[in-house]
Amino acid sequence: MIQTDARLNLGCSGGALVNLKGEVVGVLTAQAALVGWETPGGFALPTNSGVQRIIEVLKKGEEVEYGLLGVRFQQNQHGLGVQLDDVVIGSPASKAGLRRNDYLLSVGGQPVRTTDDVFLYVGTELAGSTVEVECSQLPNVPGRKLRVTLAKFHVPLPWIASNRPAAVAGLRVDYTSTLMQAGAAVQSIPSGVLIRDVDKDSPADRASLQPGKVITHINGNPVTTPADFYRRMKEARGKAELTLQRGDGVPERVTLSFE
């Protein structure tokens, strides 16, 4: 955070913090004040590379998809490196080789001293991006560096985007990592993509596809991200066999014909 002694008033959150060159260096986010006392100033979120990435997505009118690593922490940790209490099966962390009790030392070259650091650095990298993390079996000791492709963190609030992905055969999909945080009864992150929307009277609707189902393959090719799904559907040229995951472990196959 940037601490500033510029005088702020209630309602300033979201405004620009500008330096003497007229450059925006931060976004005002909190007022440092006690009731009955003179206002000393406030705090601003610095417009670093992470915040700039979010701003660019917002400028396009798209949904901001915050990054997810897929780990849980032991509480109240301080110092260089935080210890992992759990690594979710099927998560980006698990696929990259992070293990329970490892110490996470850095994310994207930024040193990790608290769990809040991890949420900030991973979240602003955004879903789908690949980031380097450093981990070790001991705190404060240099360890191995791993490349992790992030999944999506579920934000439990309505989202508004003026530029949504075009539905294909009446389908819009999302990362399966949102299943766990959305409260679904799963113990791991399944491979595939999650059906997010089904347009009424579309080929997907007529095939009785429903939001919440997981698509694992298109015409026999695995899909693991929304980008994979839209690319494979485009390559299908109007006819696609979707393989869906079922609770009993037996795959379900549905054929769609679309323009």
CATH 2.40.10.10 residue spans of the chain: 2-47
pLDDT, position 138: 85
Run means of pLDDT, 10 residues per run, the chain, 259 residues: 84 90 91 69 89 92 94 76 92 96 94 91 95 91 93 84 92 93 72 96 96 96 96 95 88 94
pLDDT, position 246: 84
pLDDT, position 248: 74
CATH 2.30.42.10 residue spans of the chain: 67-152, 171-257
pLDDT, position 151: 97
Tell me the CATH number of domain 67-152, given options 3.40.50.2300, 1.20.1250.20, 1.10.645.10, 2.30.42.10. 2.30.42.10
Tell me the CATH number of domain 2-47, given options 3.40.50.720, 3.30.830.10, 2.40.10.10, 1.10.287.1080. 2.40.10.10
DSSP secondary structure letters along 176-192: TTHHHHTT-S-SB--SS
CA distances from 180 to 80, 105, 189, 196, 257 (A): 29, 25, 7, 14, 31
Tell me the CATH number of domain 171-257, given options 1.10.3720.10, 3.40.640.10, 3.40.30.10, 2.30.42.10. 2.30.42.10
Q: pTM of the full predicted structure?
A: 0.85
Q: d(Cα 27, Cα 93) in Å, to the nearest integer?
A: 31
